[in-house]
Amino acid sequence: MKDDDASSSGPAAGLDFIRQIVDDDRRAGKHGGRVQTRFPPEPNGYLHIGHAKAICLNFGIAQETGGLCNLRMDDTNPETEDQEYVRAIEKDVRWLGFDWAERFFYASDYFDRLYECAVQLVEGGHAYVCDLQGEEVSRYRGRWDEPGRDSPYRERSVAENLDLFERMRAGEFPDGSRTLRAKIDMASSNMNMRDPALYRIRRAPHYRQGDRWCIYPMYDFTHPLSDAYEDITHSLCTLEFEDHRPLYDWFLERLAFESPPRQIEFARLNVTHTVLSKRKLLELVEGGHVDGWDDPRMPTLVGMRRRGYPPGAIRDFCDRIGIAKANSLVQIAQLEDAVRQELNRTAPRVMAVLRPLRVVIENYPEGQVEQLDAVNNPEDPAAGTRPVPFSRVLYIEHGDFREDPPRKYFRLAPGREVRLRYAYFLKCTGVVKDPASGEVTELRCTYDPETRGGYAPDGRKVRGTIHWVSAAHARPAEVRLYDHLFTREDPEDAGAGQDYKDYLNPASREVLTGCRVESSLDGAPAGRRYQFERQGYFCVDPDSSDAGLVFNRTVSLRDTWAKIERKTLG
């Protein structure tokens, strides 16, 4: 299956509680049996793995039920939104494997309709213009354990409210001097119901509407109406909006929508060793703690794409974690594991030497080159083999040689023999050192020509197999190794006097230059993924140039943190 095919997405086992509700509603013929969901991001940042959960849920339910899913920019906040983010969001949702067809909407396109609805509420005596400001508003609102007090402006006549609201729109009043508020209940135990604001005055150009408006609708007012305008049947949102649901329903009821959407809340995704708040991610970008939204260490979809995470693995991860009603912290190792599982099946194996050590095979003829057969992917017989050149001078991994090998070290050491992957047995006969530093700079070796293919006809065995590249043929490369962005599992739970940034991992990136990769990687395009044998999965970075390929390590072959964490956490 192609990795951008979303048809594999679906609930892992049985129906989660949201799919159960949707299923019940369909059976009961609610909304005429229709299902329509939406994914409503605010274009004030790039999408992250938490959004992926919401995308997979909304688009997934639509796919599974033969319904529809809209993509809507929730863009009513002029200060922070931008077209750059809109484009990035579209690209990321497509990349994840989902399609909204022609159903792409902007809440800002509803400004006229929203205004009309607000007027309707005023006319029905359900909203009023209030002159209380800032501090006063909070004082009148009371506290969770103490009822609020009615605003002195609450009993204005409909005519006066209509006039004032009209003049708010016309720009007669300064920013923040008045609001339009719903007239609900200042004594409600739910703070959201204590006459919430519907409109505020704010002279800020909107990225799409320009200077057309100096009043902007509030999120809680915009959201249910946008859902209703689009005939959404199930409005899925995260848990923090549970207390807003009565307000959501209040608007839809007062405005008498025929088949109003139903809001259902689910738990936000939190992942260990990272943060998933756009505000914090923006802070990391602007503070130069990472190289941008698409830094491969970021939990953003652009970052994960650059890192080499396949979209199918992200969908699998979202399926596996499921949908629940209680917030939880998911191990990042689970995401890495989904990535590993997919890449194990799909990524071709190649040989690359990250920290090269020169090897001269003294009994191999000068100038001779052999083409040896290397298996492209043992998990996929159809992937076939490729020729790799073998010659007198090779590079092997520095770590695959020890002058004084410890017990259980089965790789190369003076006098010891190992297997070169897909090639011959190789024996170390001498060590060349830098006279100044004493560092090993070259090995002198011999090979056994009888062992081509990696087996000795006399039945003699070797314990270690190492990878290599031919020095004359290999290409230079830079390899960037990544580790968790934060050392702490939950950097947001930093404790008093601490900031999540205090837990940034200073070793989250290590750049290796002078690496050597086999020549079959010549011209590999950005985004192509490989397994470097014995080292992990790697992806070609767009920084690659004629001067050399650049690779990002997508994920190591095994979860090395599992051990470390068990140790440090006791």
Residue (31 or 278) nearer to ligand ATP, CB: 278
* Residue 164 near which of ligand ATP, Mg ion, none (CB within 5-8 Å, type-dependent): none
Does the footprint of ligand ATP cover residue 303 (CB under 6 A)? no
490 forms part of the interface with ligand ATP (CB under 6 A):
no
Tell me which of 18, 54, 201, 352 binds ligand ATP, using CB under 6 A: 54
The token pair that represents 165 in the structure block: 């609201």
**Of 300 and 520, CB closest to ligand ATP:** 300
From 268, 280, 355, 386, active-site residue: 268
Asked about 518 being catalytic, the answer comes back as no
Nearest 5°: CA angle at 514, between 508 and 518? 105
Give the phi and the psi of residue 11 in degrees, each rounded to 5: -65, 140
Catalytic residue among 278, 297, 392, 475: 278
**CA gap 226, 238 in Å, rounded:** 17
Set 30, 42, 149, 166: catalytic member = 42
Is residue 98 within 8 Å of residue 37, measured between CB atoms? no
- Choose among 306, 280, 298, 308: nearest CA to 508: 298
Among 19, 26, 31, 51, binds ligand ATP (CB under 6 A): 51
What is the DSSP-derived secondary structure letter of residue 398?
A: G
Residue 489: CB partners within 8 Å, gap ≥ 6?
272, 273, 329, 565
| Min dist. Cβ of residue 316 to ligand ATP (A) | 17
Q: Which is nearer to ligand ATP, 269 or 521 (CB)?
A: 269
The token pair at 564 is 């470390």
**What residue 276 binds from ligand ATP, Mg ion, none (CB within 5 to 8 A, per partner kind)?**
ligand ATP
The tokens of 39 are what?
């994914």
Measured distance CA(383)–CA(330) in Å, rounded = 35
Least Cβ distance, residue 145 to Mg ion (angstroms): 28
Residue 18 partner contact from Mg ion, ligand ATP, none using kind-dependent CB cut-offs of 5 to 8 Å: none
Region of 46-54, 122-130, 179-187, 446-454 interacting with ligand ATP (CB under 6 A): 46-54
From the list ligand ATP, Mg ion, none, pick the one residue 421 interacts with, judged by a Cβ distance below 5 to 8 Å according to partner type: none
- The correct pick among 3, 23, 42, 442 for binding ligand ATP (CB under 6 A) is 42
Q: Residue 213 CB, nearest distance to ligand ATP (Å)? A: 21
d(CA 42, CA 541): 29
268 binds ligand ATP (CB under 6 A): yes
CA distance 28 to 514: 65
Q: Are 390 and 423 in contact (CB under 8 A)?
A: yes
Q: Is 42 a catalytic site residue?
A: yes
- Contacts with ligand ATP by CB under 6 A: the residue count is 15
Q: How many residues bind Mg ion (CB under 5 A)?
A: 1
For strand 328-330 and strand 468-470, is the pairing parallel, antiparallel, or unpaired? unpaired
CA end-to-end span of the chain: 42
Nearest approach, Cβ of residue 323 and ligand ATP (Å)? 9
Nearer to Mg ion, 42 or 160 (CB): 42
Site for ligand ATP in 216-255 (CB under 6 A): 237-238
Task: Collect all residues with Cβ–Cβ distance below 8 Å to 2 and sequence separation of at least 6.
Answer: none
Burial state string for 8-37 with b = 16 or more CB within 10 A and e = fewer than 16: ebebeeeebebbebbeebbeeebbeebbbb
Kindly state whether residue 50 participates in binding ligand ATP, applying the rule CB under 6 A: yes
Q: Quick one: what does residue 269 bind among Mg ion, ligand ATP, none, with the CB cut-off 5 to 8 Å set by partner type?
A: ligand ATP
Our measurement of the distance from residue 507's CA atom to the centroid of its chain's CA atoms, rounded to an integer in Å, reads 21
Stretch touching Mg ion by CB under 5 A, among 35-43, 294-302, 346-354, 547-555: 35-43
Q: Which of 35, 264, 276, 343 binds ligand ATP (CB under 6 A)?
A: 276
Provide the minimum distance between the beta carbon of 152 and ligand ATP in the complex, in angstroms, as a whole number. Answer: 34
Task: For residue 278, state whether it binds ligand ATP (rule: CB under 6 A).
Answer: yes
Closest CB to ligand ATP among 41 and 217? 41
Three-class secondary structure of residue 46 per DSSP? coil
* Residue 539, beta-bridge partner list: 529, 552
Least distance in angstroms from the C-beta of 42 to Mg ion:
5
Among 19, 53, 141, 234, binds ligand ATP (CB under 6 A): 53
Phi, psi torsion values for 371, nearest 5 degrees: -100, 120
Pick the stretch among 40-48, 97-105, 110-118, 383-391 that binds ligand ATP (CB under 6 A).
40-48
Residue 346 to residue 379: CA distance in whole angstroms? 8
Please choose which of ligand ATP, Mg ion, none residue 278 contacts, taking the beta carbon within 5 to 8 angstroms, the exact cut-off set by kind: ligand ATP
- Tell me the residue number closest to Mg ion, measured at CB: 42
Beta carbons of 353 and 513 less than 8 angstroms apart: no
507 exposed, middle or buried (CB, 10 Å; 0-12, 13-18, 19+)?
exposed
356 counts as binding ligand ATP under rule CB under 6 A: no
Instruction: Please check whether residue 361 is in contact with residue 447, taking contact to mean a CB–CB distance below 8 angstroms.
Output: yes
Closest CA to 445 of 423, 486, 413: 413
Sign of CA dihedral 10, 12, 17, 23: positive
CB 440 within 8 A of CB 403: yes
Strands 529-532 and 468-470: unpaired
Q: Does residue 311 bind ligand ATP (CB under 6 A)?
A: no
Q: Which of 74/478 has CB closer to ligand ATP?
A: 74
Find the radius of gyration of the CA atoms of the chain: 31
Q: How far is the CB of 40 from ligand ATP (least distance, A)?
A: 5
Catalytic (active site) residue 2: no
Closest separation in Å from C-beta 171 to ligand ATP? 29
**Which residues of this protein are in contact with Mg ion, per CB under 5 A?**
42
In the complex, which residues of this chain contact ligand ATP (CB under 6 A)? 40-42, 50-51, 53-54, 74, 237-238, 268-269, 276-278
Q: Which residues are catalytic?
A: 42, 268, 278
